[in-house]
Structure 1
Amino acid sequence: MSEKITAELRTEFGKGAARRIRREHKVPAVVYGHGNEPIHLTLPGHDTMMAIKHGGANALLELDIDGTAQLALTKQVQVDPVRRVLEHVDFVAVKRGEKVTVDVPIVVVGEAVRDTLVVTENATVQVEAEATHIPESFEVDIAGAEAGTQFLASELALPSGTTLLTDPETLIVNVTAAQEADLGETDTDAAEDEAAAEGATAEEAAGAAEGESAEGGDEE
């Protein structure tokens, strides 16, 4: 479902113009696609931020551009790392019923059995879906999963009209025994113990050498 946003055509460009737009709590944006020239827009900052948050990674917005509705799929979002506000948004123009290729995030739910390590091997999968029916995410339920359990892309529940483009044999989530993850720490601990032992031996040797030197000095 698309969120409706009123957009203004933008005629000023460059960093100075972008800063002026942001000072007014608005966002510069561009819509690409369908063989047309890019459309440069100014969008309301708060409404656009909320629409993108609500729509997720592949938010679909219905932009009202001078009274003409344009469906736009979010492709790239730039956010200020400090103030956490939108700085710029790139969209791709789409049409109702049109198929688009998107990366959909994986969400892991539930808890595996104790003493296991759950690793998300691939955080997204690529699918083809109708522009107005893009899945927000795919859930992988690991409740009660034991060590050795693997979840493949082919096991994801896809809604009607959505086609998996990622290799079906792609490993999405891997559940392993926790001690397997501790092997690296064990090796590190062993290496640290060995280094400590070598250091102690070196100190003892140095001490012995100093003792011998002192004895030699007494003889002189």
Structure 2
Amino acid sequence: MTIELKTRPRSLENHSEAKSIRRAGAVPAVVYGYGIKNTNVAVDEIDLIKALRENGRNAVLTLELGGKKTNVILHQYQKHPLNGELVHADFLAVNMKEELETEVAIRLVGEPKDKAGVLEQVLYNVLVSATPSNVPESLEIDISKLTIGDVITVADLTTAKEYAILADAEDVVAILQAPQKLEEATDEVAEAAEPEVINGGEEKE
């Protein structure tokens, strides 16, 4: 499926122009990469957000630049720290037949079998190598069988022949730990049970 986004050219980056573009509901952006020189453009913010929401962060987008259609992926973006609006976007032009390396989000699916455990996710993204159209939107792992002490590693992530995961198979993704409060309470009980030594063993006159 081709996801086309309309663009309009813009001049070199400057603060006043960027503000004007954002007021008009667009996002200042730059396109670079395969077969293209750095090109400054503006894209409609709503169209961009909708395309990514419906097709994923690693979706291949098509931009029309100078009458030519260019395949790109969203390489980086910046958001306003207060209102969350897109401030700037970097699009990477790609060769659809050539593998690239990009980060893919890890999603934990389900609820742990042991409800008393505390789930801690250590790794949220992993580097993947694939052609642009084969980059997965996310990598999922079912956690419904986890009990306290169980550990999920990169080796447990969903794999496919269309992409390769570029991370150590033993890297920890998540762990189901015992509740901290329960451990602290156990320690307090143990300390209270220890015999108290009075006068350090000195003889009393």
Q: Are 2:100 and 2:132, in contact at CA under 8 Å, matched by a contact in 1?
A: yes
**2:87 is matched with which residue?**
87
One-letter amino acid of the structure 2 residue matched with residue 26 of structure 1: A
Structure 1: tracts of 5 or more residues without a match: 191-220
Q: Secondary structure at the match of 1:73?
A: strand
| 1:31-75 deviation line (CA, Å, top 9, x unaligned) | 121374311111112101212333433243111223311111112
Give the drift of 1:148.
2.0
- The number of residue pairs the alignment matches comes to 188
**1:76 is matched with which residue?**
76
Flag the structure with higher helix content.
1
1:6 aligns with 2:6: yes
**2:31 is matched with which residue?**
31
Q: Are 2:31 and 2:92, in contact at CA under 8 Å, matched by a contact in 1?
A: yes
Rounded to whole Å, the distance in 2 between the matches of 1:65 and 1:96 is 17
Q: Secondary structure at the match of 1:95?
A: coil
| 1:100-125 deviation line (CA, Å, top 9, x unaligned) | 11111111111111211211111111
Change (3 A) 1:98 1:115: same
Within-5 A mapping of 1:174-189: 174-178=175-179, 181-182=180-181
One-letter amino acid of the structure 1 residue matched with residue 170 of structure 2: E
Rounded to whole Å, the distance in 1 between the matches of 2:132 and 2:90 is 16
TM-score normalized by the length of structure 1: 0.77
Q: Would you identify which runs of 4 or more consecutive aligned residues in structure 1 move more than 6 Å? A: 187-190
Structure 2: tracts of 5 or more residues without a match: 190-205
Rounded to whole Å, the distance in 2 between the matches of 1:78 and 1:188 is 46
| 1:150-204 deviation line (CA, Å, top 9, x unaligned) | 11111211232201101111111212222xx2377559989xxxxxxxxxxxxxx
Change (3 A) 1:10 1:148: same
The percent identity for this pair of structures is: 29
Give the drift of 1:7.
1.2
Change (3 A) 1:114 1:44: closer
One-letter amino acid of the structure 1 residue matched with residue 86 of structure 2: L
Within-5 A mapping of 1:34-113: 34=34, 36-112=36-112, 113=114
Within-5 A mapping of 1:116-195: 116-178=117-179, 181-182=180-181
Q: Secondary structure at the match of 1:31?
A: strand
Q: Secondary structure at the match of 1:91?
A: strand
Q: Secondary structure at the match of 1:160?
A: coil
Rounded to whole Å, the distance in 2 between the matches of 1:79 and 1:144 is 37
Give the drift of 1:12.
4.6
Q: Are 1:57 and 1:105, in contact at CA under 8 Å, matched by a contact in 2?
A: no
Larger Rg: 1
Q: Secondary structure at the match of 1:16?
A: helix
One-letter amino acid of the structure 1 residue matched with residue 140 of structure 2: E
